[in-house]
Amino acid sequence: MIRSLGLLLIACSWVVTGWAATEPYGYPFDDPFVATVVGTPDEDKAKFDIHVPTKRDSLTVFKDREVPDFLFYEAKLRYSYALQKKAAPLVFLIAGTGGAYNGGHISAQAKAFYHAGFHVVSLSSPTIPNFVVAASKTSVTGHAVHDAEDLYRVMELINTKLLKKTKITDYFLTGYSLGGFNAAFVSWLDEQRKVFNFRKVLLINPPVSLYSSISLLDRMLENIPGGVDNFPTYYSNIVSAFGKLYVRAERLDFSEDFLYRVYEALQPKNEELAALIGLSFRFSSAHLAFASDVMTDYGYVKPKNVRFTRNTDPGDYRRVVFRLGFTDYFHDYFYPYYKSLDPALDRHEVVEAMSLKRIEDYLHNADNIYVMHNHNDLILEAGEIDFFPRVFGERAKIYPTGGHLGNMEYKDNVAHMVDVFKSAVSGQEL
């Protein structure tokens, strides 16, 4: 009996392997932590031998906005675009948590789409200080609907500017990580406003529920050697290692490359990788919370009646904000802030609302929204991945490995990403 059960299991696994074998996937790292940190080795990346004529630009989103002295340099929203020489469809790209318009992943995406004949516009994530200061109506970002409205406003402004320079035949939209989540809500908003009428929308490794993803990410710092209490020493070690890397590094920013450089230099053990991922998101949450607090004078870490000048040393306030995570931001700033605007809000309902489940019916019925995801993505709770095949059906492409965004620049993934949009305009000359 047991033996035949064993045979049955072996037979089943053959069948499963048989399915998998129809589509061999060559991404090199099976471990989701390694994948997330290391990304795609250079030789496995999609390569395009072209020069992208990227232009950097900036725009004033709110004419009457008062920008605090301390953040004077963030008054205008920075973005970039690259235009084809003739009429072409345009892709809007939205970066993920803490990502700017000129980061590594988004630039790689821009190159791939430009190569395929699209105009491209690269937008920063609403979570970075520049967006918080220049483009968010409330300056308290991370809200599914408000972020989408902010992004929509920015996209309309940029679109108006670009239409003076070129012809745009169609609109496409994509984003990765939180940017994918943003893209879903922007598309949902476009159903009502109908400015862009996106031909296709592609969500890459989006969270399902924002709250469960930020909880997972905050908990990753518990993997710090010696526990969370050891944060100061750990942080100091990492930062000094990063300093050493910088000596050899070519440029300095907090893009996705940060993790890779730290990994290369320290060769950390597997369990330490989780802490590294947590730390990288901690930078994002600290930068977001601080910039937002300075904008609104809400009194999260900076006392309400204390104003920073252009020369103010943030001192201990900076140290405090690095000890706080996304969940602190949610419970002790984000939620109370929106509650003060609308007393009828309920904490649990807000958590529920910051989720793709909120627009599940829309996502299920909209046949132009596609998703790419990984079975072992670290920002999803166990079982959350099933949401995508269930809701998107054939429009969901789930890879067996890749962790969180690790395989985003892998050649197969890039080819699929481009194909999703290109198939919509096939027959048309690009």
Contact positions vs other proteins (CB under 8 A): 70-71, 73-74, 98, 100, 102, 128-130, 231-233, 235-236, 239-240, 242-244, 246-247, 250-254, 283, 287, 290-291, 294, 299-314, 316-324, 328, 332-333
The least CB distance from residue 236 to other proteins, in Å, is 6
What does each C-alpha distance from 31 to 39, 267, 300, 315, 369 come to in angstroms?
11, 15, 37, 39, 29
Whose CA is closest to 403, among 242, 238, 270?
270
Phi and psi based region of residue 152 (left: phi greater than 0; alpha: psi -120 to 50; beta: remaining) = alpha
The least CB distance from residue 169 to other proteins, in Å, is 32
Q: Which is nearer to other proteins, 320 or 424 (CB)?
A: 320
The least CB distance from residue 132 to other proteins, in Å, is 10
The least CB distance from residue 293 to other proteins, in Å, is 8
The least CB distance from residue 284 to other proteins, in Å, is 9
Edge-to-edge strand ranges of the sheet holding 88-94: 55-59, 77-82, 119-123, 88-94, 168-176, 200-204, 369-374, 396-399
Radius of gyration of the chain (CA): 22
Measured CA to CA, the distance from residue 136 to residue 299 in angstroms comes to: 18
The least CB distance from residue 59 to other proteins, in Å, is 17
Cross-strand partners of 372: 204, 397
The least CB distance from residue 245 to other proteins, in Å, is 10
Residues 76/56, Cβ–Cβ less than 8 Å:
no
Q: Which is nearer to other proteins, 98 or 207 (CB)?
A: 98
Q: Which is nearer to other proteins, 132 or 363 (CB)?
A: 132
Q: Which is nearer to other proteins, 32 or 126 (CB)?
A: 126
Q: Which is nearer to other proteins, 53 or 303 (CB)?
A: 303
Q: Which is nearer to other proteins, 22 or 309 (CB)?
A: 309
- 260 burial class (0-12, 13-18, 19+ CB within 10 angstroms)? middle
* Token pair 């904008």 in the structure block, residue: 295
Largest CA distance in the chain: 77
What is the distance of C-alpha 190 from the center of its chain?
Answer: 20
Q: Which is nearer to other proteins, 102 or 407 (CB)?
A: 102
